[in-house]
A and B are shown apart, each in its own frame.
With several copies, the nearest count.
Chain A
Amino acid sequence: MLDKNGIARTIARELKDGYYVNLGIGIPTLVANFIPEGMEVQLQSENGLLGMGPFPWEGSEDPDLINAGKQTITTLPGSAFFDSAMSFGMIRSGKVDLTVLGAMEVAENGDIANWKIPGKMVKGMGGAMDLVASARHIVVAMQHVNKAGESKLLPRCTLPITGLACVRKVVTELGVFGFDERGFVLLERAPGVSADYIRERTLGHLSSIGQEPEIQWA
């Protein structure tokens, strides 16, 4: 089983030198901690920044400098600020190489639901619908099951959709999942987790030969 850092570290293997990457709130944010040494990756924050750096040291927070999660941040040399239209312009035109975000549900066909639970107060979709509608490579980082123990990898989403057929990869504490025409495909197992164990916790169709490799980090 992977912990949150393990999920982030697994996703970090998707990074390539020169990539522009948008990381959502939560586990996705942790991916930034696993950018390999010597690899140049530019982080985009959709409120209007390329070249996001780490959190500031205490006392040097700038209220005019926040990320899309409204956290105080810093910038790296060579960063650029822009307005929200240009920010989503670069997202919409496919310039962002990798988008990592959380989800409540992912469906066999790559649909994602992550913005609204009927009956609960709706907070809004923020930039999530724009990101999933346009990003070229979308990886979901999430727990495999919800608090009630139910699979979040489903035949189809039960919650209101955020975007259609857009997710390319899912990483949970149990493994790494791709997609084929039938549904989810188990690509790698978390260390010590069997394919059967994963299948039991996956409601959507899961293709698995039962001998998928365990996740390894460089």
Chain B
Amino acid sequence: MNKIYADADAAVADIRDGATLMLGGFGLCGIPEHCIAALVRTGVRDLTCISNNAGVDDFGIGLMLKGRQVRKMISSYVGENAEFERQLLSGELEVELIPQGTLATRCMAAGYGMPAIFTPAGVGTEVAEGKETRVFGGKTYLLEMAFHADFALVKAWKADRLGNLVFKATARNFNPLMAMAGKITIAEVEELVEPGDLDANAIHVPGIYVHRLVVGTHYEKRIEQRTVRTPNS
């Protein structure tokens, strides 16, 4: 059993035009930088991308937008990107906006083998249009379908060669959920350790969910809102 790929290019090489992808990360935090860069190099097109955000103009999914590789974005917040806006207004790009918690839970549902979930988020709003509602205990919920993806691209902090993943701080966000939802899950990691080096009690995603591993180097990890304390604050 070998899950380790030589590099991100090898790991994403069989992603075809029209594929549905999940991409981990919140903002630019915890995004699979190297897999995105490799995807840009492949030139694959007509992708449906499920990702909480759509990157910025020159980083993250923004690079894929620049290459006109994305046909549809399924996200909760997409506001940081001029090229995104241009493609959306020109009709090149389709966007489905859904509440962040709904997005997270619909991804989780796939990894947990649940075909659909109920959530109150969006009841009475545009999000509810055309969706089935149901009352439980006097409260109204929307029925929301699980998200599935041909490939999930996630970024982890550490992994062992069995595919066990550990995430760091808030770079965890959507990554474990998407890792568990992918038909094929590609995890790029900062550090590959020996089996047994990770605390078996502290694995975020067991290797059964992870099909391919790429060790990434030279992470840029760009910060969107560098906010610091001032001495008199």
Contact = CB atoms under 8 A, between A and B. Distances in A.
Whether A and B are associated in the same complex: the answer reads yes
Interface of A: 17-18, 20, 40, 42, 44-51, 54-58, 61-67, 69-73, 75-96, 111, 116, 121-130, 133-134, 160-164
A126 B198 CA distance: 30
B92 interface: no
B232 interface: no
Contact of A124 (B76, B174, B208): B76
Contacts of A162: 125
A134 B114 CA distance: 11
Interface of B (DSSP majority class): loop
A49 B173 CA distance: 9
Given A56-B228, A126-B100, A81 B127 contact: no
B70 to A, nearest CB: 16
B120 A92 contact: yes
A55 B227 contact: yes
B18 interface: no
Contacts of B204: 83
B112 A93 contact: yes
- Which 5 pairs from chain A and chain B are nearest by CB? A92-B113, A88-B101, A78-B195, A123-B79, A77-B196
B10 interface: no
A83 B204 CA distance: 9
A83 B169 CA distance: 10
Contacts of A58: 228-229
Contacts of B160: 78
Given A64-B169, A87-B104, A88-B104, A123 B227 contact: no
Given A70-B29, A85-B105, A93-B180, A127 B206 contact: no
B112 A84 contact: no
With a 10 A CB-CB cut-off, give which of B79, B196, B224, B229 has the most chain A CB atoms: B229
Contacts of A70: 26-29, 224-225
B228 A84 contact: no
Interface residues of B, number: 79
B175 A83 contact: yes
Contact of A127 (B85, B99, B203): B99
Contacts of A127: 76, 99-101
A40 B2 CA distance: 10
Given A79-B200, A80-B200, A163 B124 contact: yes
Contacts of B52: 84
Contacts of B21: none
A75 B207 CA distance: 15
Nearest to A44: B208
B207 A78 contact: yes
A57 B231 CA distance: 8
Nearest to B163: A78
A162 B98 CA distance: 12
B111 interface: yes
A159 B154 CA distance: 36
A48 B126 CA distance: 26
